[in-house]
Structure formats: structure tokens, C-alpha cells
């Protein structure tokens, strides 16, 4: 009997319990069977990118954000949290551990390459499953061991994500878009809209990429592999991060914060807890940059 094109293109569904590291690596283009940059082709394919989104939902652990209550000090925007208490992570799944054990180097290289693209490409929704896979992996002992064993690749990963985060938050204008309205239909599919769409999702993107950056920094520092930073570059990085930190603080303390961040009982809304993560996460990143 003839095989239809649909049967060729759409594989039989694989349940989470049946997933193997090879399944995941094949879907994400990390196993090298179709070339070193197969993952980039997959990100640019709506069908493959959608399969990656469905796959990552089955293996990624949910984030548990520390709940915020409005600080008694009127000048304090959020209760502080260090890098270890920003978010509680369940142990990564068996499949995630196996993927990193076998394809960790390819995953780190793919993410470091992706995050160096222009912001509207680097952080597009199609790339989120790839970053999610590395974020999960960055909590593994195997991740720290990999960082300690290959300073060159680890530094490339750290530098790529630091530059990516700085470009993402830029001048802090994205903070004004938190809780904003949908784009008008006449500009929804324009080049301008592509960047605006990323700006509207910066909080969600930071939830994905800040753990990668902070865990990489921690592993490099513990292994003695963190290189010295140029004073001028460090000063510019601090200035860029500070702009967003200041604007997030102003959002929490201002009139918009009463609607978006805090409820009538001074408890953080769901959005408020996520914004608090972004604020504290950027503060943690700022602390890694020498003055």
C-alpha cells in the first residue's frame, strides 16, 4: 500500500514514559545526524519547533516562585532573594539527565550560538524549548562538572548569555510594556512588531535564561575558571542592568504596581511574583559584575 506524505512527516507519538535521550536529541537536532547546525534548521521550522514545545512540556519541571508580600519599608520594591532561593526546582527528569550526559556539549554550543543572534531572533518563542532544556540541565551536578572540565566552552557560554541578557534588557523600556495591551492588527506582523513581541515577554525570557547565566557563573567561580573582566566593559554592563532594575523598582512602588504587582491585601499577584523574580534575578547578575 502506498505511504502518504502525512505518514512520512508525522512520527508516531511518543509518551513521556517512553522518551529516551536519543528521541530528545533527534527532535532538537543535537545528535549530529543532520549536521552540526541541525538545531537551527529545526527552530526555523514551525512544525519541528512546535514538536519541541510539546516535547519539553513533558520533561521540564515546573517553576515554584517564592511568594512575595509587599515589604513594610515603603522604599523597598520587593523582598530580596539570592540566587539559590529565587526559584525552587524539582530534580530534573531522568530524560533531561540522560540528554545532558550524552549531548550536553552540543546543547551548550547550540544555546550559546542562539543567544548571540539579534534579540528578536535569539529569544523568539521557537528557541524557548532549547533554553528550557539547558536551564533544567544547569541544576545538575553533571553541568557543574562539565563547566569545571572545559573552561573554554564554559566561558563562551557565560559571555554569550551575559551579552544576550544585557541586549535583552537594554535601556529598560520593556518594563513599560509589562501588562500592556495587544498590538494593533496593522503592525502585528511587521519587523517592528517582532522586537516589540520580545519586549513584551522579557519577564518570561528572564525566567528561562537567568538561571543558566547564574548557574554558569557559580560553577565557573567555584572551579576557579572565571576570567577577569575589563573595567570599562564591566561598568557599561552594570549601567545597562541598573536601568532595568531601577524601572522594575519604580513599577512596584508606583501606581501601576498597585494594579499589576500587588493585590488589595498587599500580596503579590501571579505576575507580581514573576516580576519579583526578574528584579531579584537581575540584582543577582549585577552582583556578579565587578565595580
The string of pLDDT tens digits covering residues 226-242 is 888 888 999 999 999 99
pTM above 0.85, yes or no: yes
Average pLDDT over residues 220-226: 91
Q: Could you tell me if 27 and 52 are in contact, meaning their C-beta atoms sit under 8 angstroms apart?
A: yes
Specify the pLDDT at position 36.
Answer: 74
Q: In sequence order, which ranges of the chain are alpha helices (DSSP H)?
A: 5-9, 21-28, 38-43, 46-59, 94-114, 119-122, 128-137, 141-149, 151-169, 191-200, 202-222, 231-253, 255-260, 270-288
Model confidence at 11: pLDDT above 50: no
Q: Could you tell me if 142 and 220 are in contact, meaning their C-beta atoms sit under 8 angstroms apart?
A: no
Closest CA to 89 of 158, 140, 17, 54: 140
Taking only the tens place, the pLDDT of each residue in 33-74 is: 877 788 989 888 989 999 999 999 889 888 888 899 999 999
Which comes out higher in pLDDT, residue 230 or 12? 230
Which comes out higher in pLDDT, residue 15 or 116? 116
What is the rounded average pLDDT for all residues in the chain? Answer: 86
Amino acid at each position: 500500500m502506498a505511504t502518504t506524505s502525512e505518514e512520512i512527516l508525522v512520527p508516531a507519538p511518543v509518551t513521556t514514559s517512553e522518551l529516551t535521550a536519543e528521541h530528545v536529541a533527534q527532535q532538537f537536532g543535537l545528535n549530529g545526524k543532520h549536521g552540526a547546525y541541525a538545531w537551527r534548521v529545526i527552530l526555523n521550522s514551525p512544525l519541528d519547533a512546535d514538536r519541541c514545545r510539546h516535547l519539553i512540556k513533558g520533561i521540564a519541571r515546573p517553576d515554584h516562585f517564592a511568594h512575595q508580600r509587599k515589604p513594610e519599608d515603603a522604599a523597598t520594591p520587593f523582598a530580596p532573594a539570592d540566587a539559590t532561593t529565587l526559584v525552587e526546582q524539582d530534580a530534573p527528569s531522568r530524560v533531561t539527565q540522560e540528554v545532558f550526559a550524552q549531548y550536553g556539549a552540543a546543547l551548550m554550543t547550540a544555546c550559546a550560538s542562539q543567544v548571540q543572534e539579534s534579540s528578536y531572533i535569539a529569544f523568539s518563542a521557537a528557541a524557548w524549548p532549547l533554553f528550557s532544556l539547558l536551564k533544567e540541565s544547569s541544576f545538575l551536578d553533571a553541568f557543574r562538572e562539565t563547566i569545571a572540565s572545559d573552561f573554554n566552552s564554559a566561558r563562551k557560554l557565560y559571555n554569550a548569555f551575559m551579552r544576550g541578557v544585557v541586549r535583552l534588557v537594554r535601556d529598560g523600556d520593556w518594563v513599560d510594556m509589562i501588562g500592556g495591551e495587544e498590538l494593533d492588527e496593522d503592525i502585528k506582523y511587521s519587523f517592528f512588531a517582532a522586537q516589540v513581541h520580545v519586549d513584551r515577554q522579557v519577564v518570561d525570557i528572564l525566567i528561562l535564561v537567568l538561571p543558566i547565566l547564574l548557574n554558569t557563573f557559580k560553577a565557573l567561580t567555584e572551579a576557579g575558571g572565571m576570567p577577569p573582566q575589563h573595567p570599562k566593559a564591566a561598568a557599561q554592563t552594570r549601567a545597562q542592568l541598573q536601568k532595568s532594575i531601577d524601572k522594575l523598582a519604580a513599577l512596584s512602588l508606583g501606581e501601576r504596581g498597585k494594579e499589576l504587582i500587588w493585590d488589595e491585601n498587599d500580596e503579590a499577584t501571579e505576575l507580581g511574583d514573576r516580576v519579583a523574580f526578574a528584579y531579584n534575578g537581575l540584582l543577582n547578575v549585577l552582583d556578579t559584575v565587578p565595580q
